[in-house]
Amino acid sequence: MRTSKTFSIRFWADAKKAQNNRALIYLRLTVNQKRLSLSLKRRIPLDIWDSKIQRLRGNSNEARQINHYLEEVHSQLFQTYQDLKFKGELITAQKIKASYFGEDESSRTLLELIEYHSKKIEKTHASGSIRNFAVSENYIHKFLKNEKKTSNIYLKHLDYKFLCDFERFLHAYYPKGHIREMSHNTVMKHIQRLRKIVTLAYHLEWIDKDPFRRWKMTFEKKERDFLTANELSNIETYEFPIERLERVRDLFLFSCYTGISYADIVKLTEQNIFKGMDGNDWIITHRQKTKTKVKIPLLETAQRLVEKYKDHPMASLSETLFPVITNVKVNLYLKEIADAVGIKKNLTFHMARHTFATTVTLSNGVPIETVSKLLGHTKLATTQIYARVLEEKLSQDMNALQGILRAKKECNHL
**pLDDT (tens digit per residue) in 24-53:** 999 999 988 888 888 888 999 999 999 999
Buried b (16+ CB within 10 A) or exposed e, 138-168: ebbeebbeeeeeeeeeebbebeeebbeebbe
Report the DSSP beta bridge partners of residue 45.
22
Give the pLDDT confidence score for residue 124 in this predicted structure: 86
Q: Which residues of 303-319 are buried (b: 16+ CB within 10 A; e: fewer)?
A: bebbeebeeeeebeeee
Question: CA 36 to CA 106: how far, in whole Å?
Answer: 22
247-to-24, 143, 266, 401 alpha-carbon distances in Å: 74, 44, 12, 43
Instruction: Say if residue 38 is exposed, middle or buried (CB neighbours under 10 Å; 0-12, 13-18, 19+).
Output: middle
CA–CA gap between residue 305 and residue 265 (Å, rounded): 12
Report d(CA 141, CA 149) in Å as an integer.
Answer: 10
Q: Give the lowest-confidence range in 101-110, 218-227, 241-250.
A: 101-110
Classify 275 as helix, strand or coil: strand
pLDDT over 90 (residue 162): yes
Phi and psi angles of residue 37, each rounded to the nearest 5 degrees, phi first: -100, 140
Can you spell out the DSSP letters for 304-332? HHHHHTTT-HHHHHHTSSS----HHHHHH
pLDDT at 378 exceeding the cut of 70? yes
What confidence tens digit (pLDDT) does each residue in 177-231 have?
Answer: 666 778 899 999 999 999 999 999 999 888 888 999 999 988 887 767 899 999 9
Q: What is the Cα gyration radius of the chain?
A: 34
Phi, psi of 40 (to 5 degrees): -90, 0
pLDDT computed for residue 2 by the predictor? 43
Nearest to 194, CA basis, from 146, 154, 141, 147: 141
Is CATH 1.10.443.10 the classification given to domain 229-395? Answer: yes
For 28, phi then psi, to 5°, come to -120, 120
Burial of 49 (0-12, 13-18, 19+ CB in 10 A): buried
Tell me the β-bridge partners of 31: 7, 34
| The total number of residues written for the chain in this structure | 414
Residue 387, classified by CB atoms within 10 Å of its CB into exposed (0-12), middle (13-18) or buried (19+), is buried
Which of 2-16, 220-234, 338-352 has the lowest average pLDDT? 2-16
Q: How confident is the model at residue 1 (pLDDT cuts 50, 70, 90)?
A: very low
For the cut 80, the answer to whether the pLDDT of residue 392 exceeds it is no
Locate the DSSP E strands across 229-311: 273-275, 281-286, 293-297
CATH code reported for the domain at 107-203: 1.10.150
Q: What is the mean pLDDT of the segment spanning 52-69?
A: 93
Of 410 and 2, more confident:
410
**Residues 336, 347 contacting (CB under 8 angstroms):** no
Average pLDDT over residues 317-327: 88
Q: Are strands 55-56 and 49-50 parallel, antiparallel or unpaired?
A: antiparallel
Q: Average pLDDT over the chain, rounded to whole?
A: 87
Q: Say yes or no to pLDDT of 337 above 60.
A: yes
Contact 253, 354 (CB under 8 A): no
Domain with CATH 1.10.443.10 in the chain: 229-395
Determine the pLDDT at residue 103: 58
Q: Where in the chain is the domain with CATH 1.10.150?
A: 107-203
Phi, psi of 296 (to 5 degrees): -130, 120
Give the model confidence (pLDDT) of 280-317 as tens digits: 999 999 888 778 889 999 999 999 999 999 888 888 78
What DSSP line would sit under 90-113, residue for residue?
PP-HHHHHHHHTT-SGGG-BHHHH
**What is the C-alpha to C-alpha distance for residues 209 and 399, in angstroms, rounded to an integer?**
55
52: alpha, beta or left? (left if phi > 0; alpha if psi -120 to 50): alpha
Of these ranges, 204-213, 254-263, 281-290, 393-402, the one predicted with the greatest mean pLDDT is 254-263
Residue 80 sits at the vertex; the CA angle it makes with 76 and 85, to the nearest 5 degrees, is: 150
Predicted TM-score (pTM) of this structure: 0.61
| Neighbour count for residue 390 (Cβ, 10 Å) | 15
